[in-house]
Chains A and B, each alone.
Chain A
Amino acid sequence: MTAHPTPGHPTRPGGLRLRPPRHPVDRRAVGWWTGQALVIVAPPVLVLLLLALLIPPARFWLLLPALVIAVPGLLYTLVMPRRRYRVHRWETTDDAVYAASGWIWQKWRVAPMSRIQTVDLVRGPIQQMFGLAGVTVTTASAAGAVKINGLDRTLADDLVERLTARTQATPGDAT
């Protein structure tokens, strides 16, 4: 237990609740998620529309699936980024990294500083277009990576540096 010397946190049975992490992600993340959704939804719809334009006899059977994809796709594109923006949050303390993610299925992840193995900066193509970056913090667990996406790029750079410095100060990774 020596790894987490945080006394003075008595457990209060009953009424415990998980508090959301302190910081929201960058507002531009909404744009980034919208872009991601469009990359998935738009191509099949556009291809179907184009074919419908080119092949008049099959127009009905091409427009029908286009509609079937487009309506839920549009809903997804509108709803998902905003819901995500409300859920995705992050926070670092002296002892741990804490992040929330998801929109329908939500996840909260905590990794103690003392068990962090690598801190990576992630920049996907769409994320870059919005001037954003992500930070992936991995531990020795195959399942426990904490991902914070949609941060301002300079903030992400800064965060990576800070976390790396802190992890180097605390050795041991429980393998």
Chain B
Amino acid sequence: MNAPAAPESRVGGNGEAGAPWSRLDPGLFRLGLARSLGPMAPIAVTALVARDRLNLQTLITLGGILVTLAVITVIGLVRYATTRYRVTAERVELRSGLVFRRHRSVPRDRVRSVDLTADPLRRIFGLAAVRIGTGQNDDEKGLVLDGISRRDARLLRTELLGRTAPADSVITELRPAWVGYALLSSWSLLIGLAPFGVFFRVLDAVGVDPAEVGFLGDLWESVTATHPAVVVAVALAIVLAIGLTGTLLLYVEAWWNFRLTREPDRTFSIRRGLLTTRSVALEERRLHGVEMAEPLPLRWGRGARVKAVATGLGEDESVVLLPPAPRAEAHRVAAAVLAGDAPHTPAGLTGSAGPAANAGSSVVAAVHAGHFPPTSASPILAPLAVHPRAALRRRVFRAIWPPVAVAVLFGGLAAWLSWVPGLLWVAGPVMLPVTLLLAFDAYRNLGHGLHGPYLVTRYGTARRRTVALRRTGIIGWTISRSPFQRRAGLLTLGATTAAGGGIYKVRDVSVAEGLAFAEESVPGLLAPFVH
């Protein structure tokens, strides 16, 4: 392992299968240089031009940036020079590092996903990053090949996932009209405020007092001269305009060319991205269900998002099966994705290691022929059982105390401190109708039911979620009860699973109903503990 990994070792130094070691693409070398020289040049020029007028703090900041860039460049070059990879008949191997030499190897039959990412810089240099995952939550078990040419990356994926022809069938594709749903994002306000935050942070970092910036002073003067209502309206309009433009751009960047396809080898493939292109493969075996999310604004626009409930994803990772789009489309995608999943669930349950072990099933044949088996209705559309009235009482109670707290707090403050406006406590009563509406909506959204092989649960108001979880994927129950729930005869039933969030809850169901539901979902698991 210590022998210098010169090009001669292409013949396969370890004697294993004799596959050649390959280097990363030379484009990575050029990319590394471009990425650091790009920002370095203007900084160096600025520093030279303005060298007499720079104070120490600024000098240190600029120097720090230069040194950091230089270090990053060197690290990148070392990585390029020392990294070798190869694909043998049995395994994928990656060697890297100068001082700390690392040798990672992943058995090929463990490879579950090969994900391609290319940000704009990598795309300019024709590169891609390939993440080879083993379908386990542990990142350490996969490996990342960053900086091979995109052609090689695609070949590698084809080779590792055993894909021959692109005989995929499209489940859904982004339609330009959906971009409108970006405007219904709940992030618009935050995104609208972000540029101002960044602006002042930069001023602070470079050591400029905002009051010294000429146009800011003028602005402040004109603001204080105008009526406050006008100022608020204009400020809100500006923030919203920036926010909405931002969400629109983000949507386009993230979801342009979005395409969900079913590949012949029982994998879903998701491709997306305008500047940074991403491509993710998700084995049907790993898919334990879907989650439909409808944040409040999106719900007003009759839109929804769909996410996969899958195993082998990192903590904050998620596989989006549909970006914000019309609700009907969300139901269609959920049905199509789960329909292909249903016929072979018993096989998927046993957790056999061979991914394509029982590939001859009718699904695969149907997909090869270019059409799906007749899709049953989406489990998400299944009629759900209504929860007891006590669940509504719980939500109404939760809706009442925050406005009361606000009213008492402001009332108390106004009585105590003379400068607090006396009418602020009105905010409480004003909030009340809104929180009550949310409470009723939250109650109406509650529901649970079984739909064939799926357990379905729905809850939430600010973000309504409907989860369809494959019953065979349930690996335990968690029942929790608060004092209120104990008095009201309610419980929250949590189905634990290896997929997605780890636990999916049926909230505030009556004790008898909840226990019966658990028993019906996974017969025999809870029964010994119920009487």
Q: Which residues of A are at the interface with B, using a C-beta cutoff of 8 A?
A: 1-7, 9, 11-19, 21, 91, 93, 95-96, 98, 102, 104-112, 115, 139-144, 146, 172-175
Surface stretch bound by A, among B16-24, B210-218, B228-236, B490-498 = B490-498
Q: Which residue of A lies closest to B514 (CB)?
A: A16
A110 touches B477 (CB 8 A): yes
A-facing residues in B377-418 (Cβ within 8 Å):
none
A18 touches B524 (CB 8 A): no
Given contacts A98-B528, A105-B483, A175-B312, 13 further A-B contacts (CB under 8 A): A1-B471, A11-B519, A16-B531, A17-B530, A18-B479, A19-B529, A98-B529, A102-B480, A105-B481, A109-B478, A109-B479, A141-B496, A144-B497
Bound-state CA distance A18–B482 (Å) is 15
A19-B497 CB under 8 A given contacts A109-B476, A174-B475 = no
A104 touches B497 (CB 8 A): no
A144 touches B478 (CB 8 A): yes
Which residues from A are CB-within-8-Å of B503?
A: 141-144
B530 touches A139 (CB 8 A): no
Bound-state CA distance A143–B500 (Å) is 10
User: Counting CB contacts under 8 A, is B488 at the interface?
Assistant: no
Bound-state CA distance A142–B477 (Å) is 13
Bound-state CA distance A5–B480 (Å) is 26
Contact of B476 among A14, A15, A115, A175 (CB under 8 A): A115
B528 touches A16 (CB 8 A): no
Q: Which residue of B lies closest to A5 (CB)?
A: B524
Which residues from A are CB-within-8-Å of B526?
A: 110
A174-B498 CB under 8 A given contacts A17-B511, A111-B476 = yes
Q: Which residue of A lies closest to B350 (CB)?
A: A172
A141 touches B530 (CB 8 A): no
Most B CB within 10 A of own CB, among A2, A18, A115: A18
A14-B512 CB under 8 A given contacts A6-B527, A140-B498 = yes
Contact of A144 among B496, B520, B522 (CB under 8 A): B496
Bound-state CA distance A156–B527 (Å) is 26
* A155 CB to nearest chain B CB (Å): 21
Which residues from B are CB-within-8-Å of A115?
A: 475-476
Bound-state CA distance A172–B351 (Å) is 6
Which residues from A are CB-within-8-Å of B502?
A: 141-144
B349 touches A174 (CB 8 A): yes
Contact of A107 among B136, B137, B471, B479 (CB under 8 A): B479
Which residues from B are CB-within-8-Å of A7?
A: 524
A9 touches B519 (CB 8 A): yes
A144-B476 CB under 8 A given contacts A6-B528, A174-B349 = yes
* B379 CB to nearest chain A CB (Å): 18
B515 touches A173 (CB 8 A): no
